[in-house]
Chains A and B, each alone.
Chain A
C-alpha cells in the first residue's frame, strides 16, 4: 500500500497515526482511541474526523460513496466528496451503495445489506455515550475503564419511568462485544441493529473530540435495554394503525423522511436515496 505525497492530502505521519489508531480501535472493540486529529480545510463539526479516516485508508481503485442524512446530493456530502475525490486521484466516486468499497456517512447506515469488502466510516460529533451523564472526559475515561455504566442505566430507567420509553432516539447507547458501551454516532435507532454481527468494519471518527473507535466485522452490538422494556426502533406509525410507506417506491421497511406539505398533511419517503432509486429501477 503506497501513500504518495500527492495522494490523500494528509502527510505520512498523520496517515500512520490514524491507521495505527484504527488498528487499535478494531482490536479493542468500542474503545475510544485518542488521536492527534489534524485541522482540515473544512470546519470542525462538518466531518473532519470521517474525512481523515477516509483519506488515511483510501487507496487508488476504491469506490467512494459519501452520504449525509442518507442523501448523496446533500450540500455537505457534495463538498466532502469533491474534496476527497480531488485529493485522491485514481479513486472513483459513486452513489451506489452496492458498488462502493468505502462509504463515509453522517447520521445513517445504508438500508442495503453491506457485504465483505466494504468499509463504513462514520462522522461523529460526540464519541462518548457517557457524555449524556458526565461532562468531564477524565471522569468518563475512568468510568469506561471500570465498566462503570451505572449512571447511564439510571438515566435509561428514569426515562422509562417518566416517559414509558428511553428518551434517546438517535445515538442510542449499545454494548460492543460485551464490554465497552459506544455512542453509535447519531444514527437513528433504526440503523443500530445493522451493526450487530455486520460483515463489514464500522469505523467511527470524531475529529473535534479527537477519538477513533470501531465495531469490527461479526461483532455483537447490543442496545442497552431492560428485560421488560425491550429496545424498539422508530415505528412510523400511521393513524390507521398501520405503518407509513414511501410515497415514491412504496417501501414499508425503510427509515422515512416526513415532509410537511402546504395543506398540512405529510408526505413520507425513503431517507436512503440510493435504496429508493434502486427499488424504482427494479420496478421500471
Chain B
C-alpha cells in the first residue's frame, strides 16, 4: 500500500477494536473453546450456518466466538467468508427421503408408517432452571454419552423412513408443485421479480430466523389463511452426493444435518385443470436443527405460492416483500448504517426546510 492518509479516524478505529478485545477477554473465566461452542451451543451454530449459507460447524463456532455470541454478526462473518470461496461443482437434487432421521413427527395422523420418532426435542421441556448446570461436574457431563451407547443395539432405529406425504400423494389428494424448475444459485445470479420458487426457497433457507418467523406468524394470525397442518417435520443427516469427477456417478462425500418441513394447507381447486380440488403444500428446509425456521419457511412458501396463483393479498403472500426483507445480514447492515455520519444529507434537509419556510413567509 502506498501513501496512506492518516488522521483522527484511523486512531479511533484502532482504539475501538482494542476496547472490544478488552471486553472479550475481561473476567476470570478461561478462554472459550471453539469446540465447546460447536458441541454445546449447537443450535446457535446451526443458525449461524444456515443464515451464513455455509455448512462448516467449526468455522461457524469460531464466528460465534469472534462475534461475542451475536448470531447476526456471526452469520455475517461466515457469509463474507463464503462469498470469497470458489464454487467447485453442482450436485443433483437431493431428496429428504434419504435423510438418516434423528427425529420425525407428523401432526396429520395419529400413527404413521415407520412411527413417530420424537428424538431430541425441546417441545415438552418445562422451562424451569436446571441450577445444577451452574457448576457442572465434568465426570457427570462425560458419563451421559458413555451410558447412552452402553446397551444400544445397532439396529435400534431404521436409517430412513417413508414420507408421510406419499400416502396422500398415492391417493391423488396433493397439488404438487411443478418440480421441473432448475435450482438457482442466489449468490451468483441477479435478483429480479417475479422470482422463481427455487430462488425464493434459497433466500428463505438463508433468511434470518426471527424475520421469517414474524412474517410466517402474520399468516397464522389472519393476514392470510393457510390453515396449516404439519404433514411431516424431520431432522436428520442428509448424505451429500457429488458427481464423481471422472465417471459423473454420484458419490457420497459427507453428510449435513438438516431440518425439513412439509405442511399441508387448505384444499384448493386444482391449478391448471378442471380436476377435483386438492390439498396445497408448503415446503421448508434449512441447515441444522431448526424446527421453528423450517416450519415458518414452509408456511411462507405456501403463502407465496398462493399469492402467485391468485394475487398477493397479504404481506406473506407477496414474494418480493418476503424475499427482500428476511435477509438478516442485509437488514442488519442497513439498520446499522444509520449510525454512520449523515451530516451532509441532514444539512441539505435543514437548508430545504429553511428555504421552504422563507418562501412561505415571503408569499403566504
- A113 CB-CB contact with B under 8 Å: no
Contact A36 B86 (CB under 8 A): no
Chain A count of residues within 8 A CB distance of the other chain: 69
> With the chains together, A54 CA to B87 CA distance in Å?
23
Contact B348 A190 (CB under 8 A): yes
- B320 CB-CB contact with A under 8 Å: yes
In chain A, positions 170-193 with a C-beta closer than 8 Å to chain B are: 170-171, 186-190
In chain A, positions 1-35 with a C-beta closer than 8 Å to chain B are: 9, 11, 13, 34-35
Contact B13 A167 (CB under 8 A): no
Distance to closest chain B CB from A160 (angstroms): 10
> With the chains together, A73 CA to B338 CA distance in Å?
18
Contact A94 B3 (CB under 8 A): yes
Nearest chain-B residue to A163 (Cβ)? B356
Contact A34 B79 (CB under 8 A): no
Q: Specify which chain B residues have a CB less than 8 angstroms from the CB of A235 in the assembled complex.
A: 351, 354-355
Contact B3 A169 (CB under 8 A): no
Contact flag A77-B80 (CB < 8 Å), given A46-B333, A170-B349 = no
In chain A, positions 67-108 with a C-beta closer than 8 Å to chain B are: 68-70, 72-79, 81-82, 85-86, 89, 91-95, 106-108
| Interface core residue of B13, B84, B354 (most chain A CB under 10 Å) | B84
> With the chains together, A234 CA to B346 CA distance in Å?
12
> With the chains together, A237 CA to B355 CA distance in Å?
9
Cβ contacts A229-242/B at 8 Å (1 or 0 each): 00010111100000
Q: Specify which chain B residues have a CB less than 8 angstroms from the CB of A95 in the assembled complex.
A: 5
A: which residues have CB within 8 A of B?
Answer: 9, 11, 13, 34-36, 38-41, 43-46, 48, 68-70, 72-79, 81-82, 85-86, 89, 91-95, 106-108, 125, 136-138, 141, 163-165, 167-171, 186-190, 208, 210, 232, 234-237, 255-258, 271
Show 13 A/B contacts (Cβ-Cβ < 8 Å), sorted by A.
A36-B187, A38-B187, A43-B332, A43-B336, A70-B344, A81-B4, A141-B193, A165-B356, A165-B359, A167-B356, A169-B345, A170-B344, A234-B348
Q: 15 extra interchain contacts, Cβ-Cβ under 8 A, other than A68-B341, A169-B349, A208-B334?
A: A40-B80, A43-B332, A69-B341, A73-B10, A92-B2, A93-B4, A125-B334, A138-B194, A164-B360, A165-B352, A167-B352, A169-B348, A170-B344, A235-B354, A271-B344
